[in-house]
Structure 1
C-alpha cells in the first residue's frame, strides 16, 4: 500500500511560508507477491517439451532353422560411417572373392542435405516407387565413427522416409575398401 508521511512543522520564525514537502514511500510487497504468484502459476500450468524418440524395430534372435535374409545386389546400398565425419557409400554388394561380380566403386560424402541425403533420395527416385526395386540400405559403422554420425544417419533414414535399412557389423573387406580409398 502507498503511504504518505509528512514532516513535522519546525515552528520557526515567521516569514515566507513554504509548502510542506511530503515524502512518498511505496510498499512493494504486494507487487512482489503478485509476481511470485504469476510465476508459480505459469510454471505449474505450462507443458514442457516432450522428448522425441525414433521407433526402431529390432530383429528377433537368430535360430538354427532361420537363415539370413538375402538381398539383391541391385537393391543394396551400403553406407560406411568413417572417421572425421565422412560417410562412404557404394551400390551393390562388396564381394571381392567372387570374380563374376564387378568391384564396387567407393564414394565419399558428408551428412549434410546435399551429401548423403541427396544420394539416398536419388537412389529412391531410380526405383520409381516400386517395392521390388526399392533400395535396402546397409549401415556399417566403423570403429573410427562417432556416435553422432550414427544418430545423423538414422535421422537421414527418417527424413528420407527410407523404409528398409539395417545396422550391420562392418566386415574386413569394407575396412580394406576405405583404406584403399584413403591412399
Structure 2
C-alpha cells in the first residue's frame, strides 16, 4: 500500500512557518505479485507448438475381402531400409530390376540420397504423364530401426508422394539387398 510519512509539528520556534514537503514511499510488493501472477497465467494458458503428425492409414489385413492392389511396373519404387543408414531400392519387380540393373544402394543424404531417388522417379513419370500413379513401397528389414522408417516417411511427405505402403519384406528381397549391399561395400 502507498503510505505518506508526515513528521510531527516543528515545535515553538518564532518566525514564519514554512510548509514542510512530505516524502512519499510506494510499496511495490503487490505490483511484483501481480506481475508474477500474470506471467504464470500466460505460461499456463499459452499452447506450445505441437508436433506435426503424418496421417497413416493402414488396410485391414484380417479381412479376406480386402482386394490385392495391382501396381504398374513403371510406377513402382520399392525402398528397403537397411542397417547402417543404407537403403536398397529398385524400380518395378525385383527379378526384372536385377536383370536390367534398375536398382541401387543409397542413404539419407540431402543431396544424393533417398529424396533424390524419389525425385528422379517423379521426373521420369512426368515425362509419360503418370506422376500421380507413383507407388512407393517401403519394406523395412528387421535390422533397420524406427528412425529409418521415420526418415523414409519424411521423404514421402517432403516429395509429396500420394501413394505409399509399408509392407513385409520377402526372403528374396532380403537376400538381394544383402548381396548387393555386400558387393557395393567391397
Contact 2:86–2:106 (Cα < 8 Å) also in 1: yes
Distance (whole Å) between structure 2 residues aligned to residue 104 and residue 88 of structure 1: 13
Shift of 1:49: 1.8
Q: Which residue of 1 aligns with 2:103?
A: 106
Deviates more, 1:77-86 or 1:171-180: 171-180
Contact 1:137–1:165 (Cα < 8 Å) also in 2: yes
Q: Which residue of 1 aligns with 2:13?
A: none
Deviates more, 1:85-94 or 1:102-111: 102-111
Distance (whole Å) between structure 1 residues aligned to residue 62 and residue 101 of structure 2: 29
Return closer, same or farther for 1:105/1:128 CA change in 2, 3 Å cut-off: closer
Q: Which residue of 1 aligns with 2:60?
A: 60
Aligned ranges for residues 1-183 of structure 1 at < 5 Å? 29-61=29-61, 63-64=63-64, 66-95=66-95, 102=99, 104-114=101-111, 115-128=113-126, 130-131=129-130, 134-181=133-180, 182-183=182-183
Q: Unaligned stretches of 5+ in structure 2?
A: 4-24
Structure 2 length-normalised TM: 0.72
Contact 2:140–2:169 (Cα < 8 Å) also in 1: yes
Shift of 1:42: 1.5
Aligned-partner SS, 2:73: coil
Aligned-partner SS, 2:120: helix
Instruction: Name the structure where helix makes up a greater proportion of residues.
Output: 2
Pairs aligned (count)? 160
Return closer, same or farther for 1:45/1:62 CA change in 2, 3 Å cut-off: closer
Q: In the TM superposition, what whole-angstrom CA distance separates every residue of 1:44-82 from its partner, at most 9, and x where no partner exists?
A: 331222232111122134544554222222221110000
